[in-house]
A and B are shown apart, each in its own frame.
Chain A
Amino acid sequence: MATRLGVDVGGTFTDLIFYDDVSGCVDVAKRPSTPAAPEQAISSVVGETLSSRQLASCEFFLHGTTVGINALLERQGARVALLTTRGFRDVLEIRRGDREAVYDYLWNAPPPLVPRRLRIPITERIRVDGRVERPLVIDEVRQAAEMLVADNVECVAIVFLNSYANPEHELAALRILRESGLEVDVALSHLVTGEFHEYERTATTVVDAYIRPHLVHYLRRLRRDLNESGFKGSCLVTRSGGGSMTFEEAEERTFETIMSGPVAGAIGAAEVCRDLGVTSAISADVGGTSFDCCLIREGQPQLKYEGTVAGLPLQTPWIDVRSIGAGGGSVAFFDEGGLLRVGPRSAGAVPGPACYGRGGVEPTVTDAAATLGWLAFGELAGGVTLDVEAARRAVALLGEKLGLGIDETALGILRIVSASMAGAIRSVTLEQGEDPREATLVAFGGAGPMFCGLLARELGILRMVIPNHAGNFSAWGLLGQDIARSAARTCIAPLDSSGLLAANRVFGDLAQRLQDRESNGMGEQTMEAGLDLRYAGQEYTLTIDVPLDSGSFSASHDEVHSGFNRAYRAAFGHTLDEEVELTTVRATSRTPLPRRRQSHSVSTVASAWKQRSVDAYSFATAGRRSFTLLHRSSLSPGVRIAGPAIVAEETATTYIDVGIELETHSSGALFLIDTRGA
């Protein structure tokens, strides 16, 4: 039993969701984000939505934040110094030599996060097997310390070659820096990731150092504000790889928060899939600026162990959420070849779509939807009043350039944007060997429920789910997270009994390290083990779960081998006769938060909502017709309604075309079935 509060800060809106475990009631609210100081929007949405009694009753504050990623994208992070192995001073600047824009001769890599003068080579060398090739030259570290103190660096990263195989030089360097009077935070690469690939490990360690001061100050300010408003519970932030961690731990492992925002929705969707018994699903989160999708199998979002952000690779567990720049705010335009294009540029929160009446004049996806009558009522989320005429003007102006009518242009915008979303979904499913047509589409975010029918049609999907609190669903996803920790270390060995024994020893070390981290007395920890495996000679690895018994691997190498073959066959359709090789050992600990109840009611029922009809465009019948307008809170469980209908709720609108049938599940989730067949 625990009352909890979730706040998810996005690029356009800050979403709140409050769950009262005693009454089972839920409050939702949305305010425009305040990117310069995100805690301001949080304070105001919390203050305006919750009473002090509600806040005082709250045991957990769960948070999805973009502070880390924004510091990185805007290059507003700390002044970081980097100690490297001599001969490898420029790993961060040389990168891997690839371009983000493959065909663009003029492309330059962004400047490195640590300037060269603060990248200090130290004489030392560890071999790949952990042997010391050249001892650490202590005097060089002392000199570095003096320089760094004099230079007022805010954070230091130490990355020595092959340190995952033997961390003694990184640890010794830290000791010497401290003895020499350096007081700022130091990030050691073998603790941050422990995985091989020196550029990727360096980038991860440097990002950790770079965003650390920023994030630490932010988390502390936020907690202070919450406490001053009467909140007395625990503060947790979502990890890129799922699960949450305390603010204290986030201060130590800042890089794990980098994708905190987008993953919460995928995790919430996975929970919905488990509750509803959906085995294969795709989450589709359509916000103001981006479209995020994730494949969910057997109730679990797909996890990977390397992600990319701001052009930098990060070695950290990562829920595989794919983003493209397509959302409600995406701007439509004609390109130089005379084709209609949509996005990736967004009108953002300011000026926003033309229909927000905040001075936007360019036609956006939201304007197209408003033009077609899909946003059939006057009030939008966050106190925005819909100006349909402004939307029509913007869309009409674009249409005139190519001799298209208003509806035709608006339709075109929606078809094009859903084609790019469908492309993203196809690639995320295809890479996992999954057929999107077999999956259920779980749609949420401010514009997700509006798009889901179109998107499903484009992909040949027949089943859709609109979860409760669809417009604030990412915040809802925050509420269900366990506390999780993870660690990894590269350990290259053949998958035989001695290789597995070595991996088991590494796992024991990692598990011990996770248990040593502050647990906050929140409950029983459970431990999970994973191994990265590949056929010898290959580069790509698959991560295989290994069962545990009293903290040790309980599977034989043969069992692990056949598990790998099964996973490989599932992904690639065949297996190989090659030897299997271990590369990396992974440990995860989980401490479950108390469960939420399944059913719950929305406390803010629309007052005096009257069912009526609106005129809107139907894709299925290619023309305008009358749609039944319903409020979601008026739909009782089990009720079935055939489209055309539009279902409104506080922060989202569900568009149900002709041929689609709605059924309300007992949990409150809406099932949509396309009865026209694939």
Chain B
Amino acid sequence: MTVDEVVSIRGKPGKDLGGPKADPVTTEVIRQGLNAGADQMKVALRRAAFSPVIYEMIDFACGIYDTDVRMLAQARSLPSFLGTLGFCIEAAVKASGGEAQLEPGDVLWSTDGYANGSHPQDAVVVVPVFLDDTLVGYSVIKAHHLDIGAKEMYCTDTTDNFQEGVIFPGVKLYRSGVLQRDLYRTILANSRLPQALSGDLNAQLAAARMGASSLLTLIEKYGVEQYERSLERMFDAGEAIVRRYLEDVPDGRYIAKCALDSDGLTDDMVEFDVAVEIEGSDVVVDFSDSASEQAGPINCPLPTTVSTARMAILALLGGNEMPNEGHFRPIEVRARPGTLFFPRPPAPIFLYGWPSDQAVEGILQAISAVTPARARAASGGDLCGISLWGNRDDGSLWACAMDQPVGHGAKDGADGGSPLIIISCSGIRNSPAEVVEARYPVIVERCELAPDSGGAGRFRGGLGTDVEYRLLRDSYMTAIVERTKTPPEGLFGGGSGRPNRLEVRLPDGSVVSYSKVTRLALPAESVVAIQTGGGGGYGPAAERDREAVFDDVGEGYVSESEARRLYPQAF
């Protein structure tokens, strides 16, 4: 394979419209209007959605784009979707015949995982926006649907992408405002949960149309010319903000060392590197030497590779803004076909989010290592998600899914703090014990901080949690708990936190641990125990304040024996 094959992707450039620059006031007003429009899509989708995965876990992304498919605004939702929607639009438009074939009232629908950068469940609706008969932009939503016909509702062991869900490759669900009923019936007929799919899809359509109408209102209000000029200025402003942050990062090439526990099929670790090159205010995130395409479903299609890089950079260096295409311009992403981060069909991609999460964690660590003032040591690094299901006495199905916050790393001047959901899935929340018990035949035996699980250091890593679910009925479990083999590392001499762990304690007393498992049968009275990782420490343990050490012991964050071992200077 030659270097020539490496693809390079950046935020799209500005256009020279000639004439005067837009004024900064109108630009700001339009920027706010676009952001508000995207946020309203989010509100509308959450309000009308049927499934908790949308309204509770916020597993979706809503965005507004211009005709050049430059991102105008994306609502704050699942961070790992940040900046993927443009790829979804381009692919769907191309597949359905190209821009010239679009008509007012058309709605495109796609579950093509390679085009959208996701498993097929993350289905995309694109609404082309027309002012009279002229295309002026796109409103787009990607949202996770519970089932669109994969071999299991959630899979950890697929071997090609045809097992992962029905592929609708950018098709017109509406033509000139008319629903294509045959197509709609086909979509529903392929789902185990047609009612949820139809409820969620209708919510997605309504919210995407609302985004389209917000965009139209803005354009009508300010006129096409002023609107277009303002976009250019808005992109430039976004770009300038990110460049300001990047300038403060020392130039150099930094390697993010990442690892996954397995590919889902075997128990072998998959290790890969991502290079981060900083020069002035430009950054290259280079996935081209990561690892080869894998046999199991941990391949990450290109659009998500791009969003992985964008999200990681902006989480640390984005000024906590609502980004637009301009924010992406200083970030170049490189990837090589046939690799983990640029797989080719029919390689399985169901767990595409997990390599992405590890790359995010790795990139954040690589940059943190050279920016001590804006640095944070590693976190547990995974959602530690399990789903449980089974049948009630009347034969009806019950099913639930739980994700866990993990310990987070220490930073300059502060310990790791409360456990959090990993940054790439930020916005997801854990499931309250009282809600779980009210709905499912499960007792939550504990959910508490695990003393001694955070990495030692001048600033201590945040603690992981110990969570135990006791099953009251025979049940099945599918689980993905990553990073059980590699502990979250400290920074600048800080110690590591404990790694994640999933174990099942069977009623006969035997204990088995897992990382990824699909449809594991568990008898009643089994206990599923999840130990989430602790954050890494920051700075050498020898430099920790005596007061802070005693405080940790007093609060029960660190046991006295461990404190004596790790911080002898305090005693």
Q: List A residues at the B interface (Cβ < 8 Å).
A: 86-91, 93-99, 101-109, 111-112, 115-117, 127-128, 133, 161-162, 196-200, 334-341, 402, 404, 408, 411-412, 415-416, 419-420, 423, 426-427, 430-431, 492, 537-540, 571-574, 576-577
Contact = CB atoms under 8 A, between A and B. Distances in A.
B28 interface: yes
Contacts of A102: 76-77, 79, 426-427
B442 to A, nearest CB: 10
B448 A89 contact: yes
Given A338-B240, A573-B48, 18 more contacts: A96-B429, A103-B426, A105-B316, A106-B374, A107-B420, A108-B416, A196-B432, A198-B432, A336-B240, A337-B238, A337-B241, A337-B326, A402-B24, A404-B23, A415-B25, A537-B50, A572-B48, A573-B206
A90 B449 contact: yes
Contacts of A162: 434, 437
Contacts of B39: 423, 427
A537 B396 CA distance: 13
Contacts of B416: 108
A90 B448 contact: yes
Contacts of A105: 315-316, 364, 376, 423
Contact of A91 (B199, B206, B320, B447): B447
10 contacts: A94-B419, A97-B429, A198-B434, A404-B23, A404-B24, A416-B32, A423-B35, A430-B43, A539-B56, A574-B48
Interface of chain A: mostly helix, strand, loop or mixed: loop
Given A88-B447, A423-B36, A98 B418 contact: no
Interface stretch (B119-127, B387-395, B553-561): B553-561
Contacts of B24: 334, 338-340, 402, 404, 412
Contact of B557 (A104, A116, A576): A116
A55 B404 CA distance: 58
| CB-based closest 5 A-B pairs | A337-B237, A97-B405, A87-B446, A412-B25, A108-B417
B556 to A, nearest CB: 5
Contacts of A335: 237, 241
Interface of B: 23-29, 31-33, 35-36, 39-40, 43-44, 47-48, 50, 52, 55-56, 76-77, 79, 82, 195, 199, 202, 206, 233-234, 236-241, 244, 311, 314-316, 318-320, 326, 364, 374, 376, 403-405, 408, 411, 414, 416-421, 423, 426-430, 432-435, 437-438, 443, 445-449, 465, 468, 554-557
Given A101-B320, A402-B24, A430 B40 contact: yes
B405 to A, nearest CB: 3
Contact of A99 (B244, B420, B445, B448): B420
A334 B414 CA distance: 31
B33 A419 contact: yes
A135 B374 CA distance: 49
A420 B376 CA distance: 33
A183 B39 CA distance: 49
B153 to A, nearest CB: 15
A200 B431 CA distance: 12
B25 A416 contact: yes
Contact of B438 (A106, A196, A334, A415): A196
A83 to B, nearest CB: 14
A164 to B, nearest CB: 8
Given A106-B316, A427-B36, A197 B241 contact: no
B316 A197 contact: no
A98 B429 contact: yes
A117 B241 CA distance: 43
B414 A416 contact: no
Nearest to B36: A423
Contacts of A89: 448-449
A337 B32 contact: no
A8 to B, nearest CB: 30
B528 to A, nearest CB: 15
A416 B433 contact: no
A162 B418 CA distance: 24
B537 to A, nearest CB: 15
A95 B48 CA distance: 26
Given A87-B447, A97-B428, A572 B47 contact: yes
A197 B432 contact: yes
B31 A104 contact: no
A538 B82 CA distance: 27
A234 to B, nearest CB: 39
Nearest to B199: A576
Given A87-B445, A99-B420, A574 B237 contact: no
Nearest to B327: A337
Contacts of B40: 426-427, 430
Given A117-B554, A337-B236, A571-B47, A99 B426 contact: yes
A499 to B, nearest CB: 14
Nearest to A583: B438
A103 B55 contact: no
Nearest to B436: A128
Nearest to B406: A97
Contacts of A577: 195
A88 B433 contact: yes
Nearest to A535: B50
Given A103-B426, A115-B555, A492-B438, A94 B465 contact: yes
Contact of B50 (A104, A111, A431, A576): A576
Contacts of B417: 108-109, 111
A340 B403 CA distance: 41
B25 A340 contact: yes
Contacts of A408: 25
B308 to A, nearest CB: 14
A87 B48 CA distance: 36
Contacts of A573: 48, 206
A415 B29 contact: yes
B244 A87 contact: no
Contacts of A88: 433, 446-448
Given A87-B445, A411-B25, A108 B418 contact: yes
Contacts of B76: 102-103
B146 to A, nearest CB: 11
Contact of B421 (A98, A103, A426, A538): A98
Nearest to B437: A128
Among A109, A339, A408, A576, which residue has the most Cβ atoms of chain B within 10 A?
A339
A577 B554 CA distance: 54
A86 to B, nearest CB: 8
A291 to B, nearest CB: 14
Given A97-B429, A339-B31, A427 B437 contact: no
A537 B54 CA distance: 13
A415 B234 CA distance: 17
A134 to B, nearest CB: 11
Contacts of B77: 102
B418 A94 contact: yes
Nearest to A91: B447
B71 to A, nearest CB: 14
Contact of A336 (B26, B311, B319, B555): B319
Contacts of A419: 28-29, 32-33
A341 B428 CA distance: 30
A431 B43 contact: yes
A127 B470 CA distance: 13
A538 B244 CA distance: 44
Contacts of A341: 28
A128 B434 CA distance: 7
Contacts of A161: 433-434
B430 A336 contact: no
B202 to A, nearest CB: 7
A106 B199 contact: no
A93 B239 CA distance: 37
A409 B35 CA distance: 23
Nearest to B203: A572
Nearest to B326: A337
Given A103-B318, A109-B420, A337-B240, A94 B447 contact: yes
